[in-house]
Amino acid sequence: MRLVKPFRGLRPARELAVRVASPPYDVLSREEALEMARGNDCSFLHVNRPEIDVDPATDAHDGVVYATGRANLDRFIDSGVLVRDEAESFYVYRQVMGDHVQTGLAALASLDAYEQGLVKKHELTRPPKVHDRVAHMHALGAQVGPVFVTYRARRMVDELIAETAQGEPEYDFTADDGIRHTFWAVSQAERVLEFQSALDELPALYVADGHHRSEAASNLRETLNLFSPRRTGSAPWDWFLVVMFPHDQIRILDYNRVVRDLNGLAAGDFLQKLERDFDVAEVENSRAKPTRAREFALYLEGRWLRLRPRQNVLASLEEKSASDRLDVALLQDWVFAPLLDIMDQRTDERVDFVGGIRGLEELERKVDSGAWAAAFALYPTSMESLMEVADSGGVMPPKSTWFEPKLRSGLVSHVLD
């Protein structure tokens, strides 16, 4: 089964790419999106977050919001802000964040492969978020937010990408956050065939970030197929937009936790209970960040403590599944559930999540404000662990991974003709 294929991308005119490209829809609040798009009528936020263009009292999931997104997309096309390529193409996309570089390929991934487990998942999805993306895709008649996927690095694929990245790019700009984005189109027929031949050797893809978008594409296909009785399996909605990176280039950051209270325990009592299963030692602020797997940092009452599980905890992990051996699962099973009575981090309002990109300072700020009682810093989940969980058909605990840099939306979209 073919995993990926080229497509006729809808993308910005070259001189407008820096104005069009926007952060993903789900990393900004409505107010932040409105402010970011202010004064920029080409910002892709007008398409991806169209609630910024309706009455602020209107619910973000109202039908008028999705219709506004479609009207804005049509305006971009009619005015030449976005232009559709004539030839089916692959697209090489490089991101540079500080000293980190990752170079991937924008393509269409097969929903048949997704539903048969060849595009592997590792997270559960929330129905309201899936329904929102289904409605958005349906109204726009396009997929405008690429799913971030990875594959086990293959020399032939990676060499073709690297060779392409030596040529003249279509876009090359540095966004306001300092991240550089460079983009090349692979449209020459012979070159496209070279890429396709190499990509056909990949055994599987792994969804890294974008589970709700991929699930929404699958759900939308079910709906659209009701109106297409003569199925060929090659309709535009049989595929979904991805940017795929080799696993050895992707960086996962830590995804940390803050808790509202200590479940009625005084700080000293809480630490005393922790010490039954963890070695606890005070550390300096500058040395608090965990440096290895199965090590945690706790910020409590203005000081940082290092937590390392004792042998009884480590021994308990030996017979567990790949997902249950993760640090986030260990923290849940030995601290959050038994000591804090937090049974489901996905739904319990006594816990919140802080992406590692914000640093330990954000954890300190939240606790020092008095709104939160304690913070837990974790070591980042590895790509190998993510793929092991996905290969086993497992599900990772909520908020196990934070990927940076984020893909920019608007650089290329997939039209569902």
Burial of 29 (0-12, 13-18, 19+ CB in 10 A): exposed
Which portions of the chain are predicted below pLDDT 70? Answer: 229-233
Q: Look at residue 347 in the predicted model and tell me its pLDDT.
A: 86
| Number of CB atoms found within 10 A of residue 266's CB | 9
Let me know if residue 209 belongs to a domain: yes
Tokens, residue 220 = 């939308």
Contact 336, 328 (CB under 8 A): no
How many domains does the chain fold into? 2
Task: Tell me what pLDDT residue 286 has.
Answer: 81
Same domain, 188 and 291: no
Longest alpha-carbon distance in the chain: 69
The answer as to whether 392 is a domain residue is: no
Whether 57 and 173 map to the same domain: the answer is yes
Same structural domain, 235 and 282: no
State the first-to-last Cα distance of the chain, in angstroms, to the nearest integer.
Answer: 23
pLDDT, tens only, 213-247: 999 999 999 999 888 766 666 899 999 999 999 99
Per-residue pLDDT tens over the stretch 332-351: 999 999 999 999 998 899 99
Which residues, 6 or more positions from 107, have their beta carbon under 8 angstroms from its beta carbon? 4, 5, 6, 7, 90, 91, 199, 242, 243, 244
What's the rounded Cα separation, in Å, for the pair 270 and 44? 48
In terms of Cβ atoms closer than 10 Å to its own Cβ (0-12, 13-18, 19+), residue 141 is middle
pLDDT of residue 287: 86
Whether 149 and 192 share a structural domain: yes
* Tokens of residue 84, six digits: 């559709």
Q: Are residues 198 and 97 in the same domain?
A: yes
The pLDDT assigned to 31 comes to: 94
Please report the pLDDT score of residue 229 as a whole number: 63
CA–CA distance from 16 to each of 12, 28, 82, 170, 220 (Å)?
6, 22, 9, 11, 30
Kindly state whether residues 91 and 202 are assigned to the same domain: yes
Residues 178 and 272 in one domain: no
Are 203 and 236 members of one domain?
yes
Based on the fold, state whether residues 215 and 299 are members of the same structural domain.
Answer: no
Pair 135, 269 in one domain: no
Q: Which domain holds residue 128?
A: 4-251+405-415
Residue with tokens 């070591």: 379
Strands 90-97 and 180-186: antiparallel
Q: What is the rounded distance in angstroms from the CA atom of residue 315 to the CA atom of residue 412?
A: 48
**238 and 287 both lie in a single domain:** no
- What per-residue confidence (pLDDT) applies to 89? 98
Q: What CATH code is carried by the domain that includes residue 313?
A: 3.30.1760
Q: Are residues 371 and 279 in the same domain?
A: yes
pTM score: 0.90
Residue 398 inside a domain? The answer is no
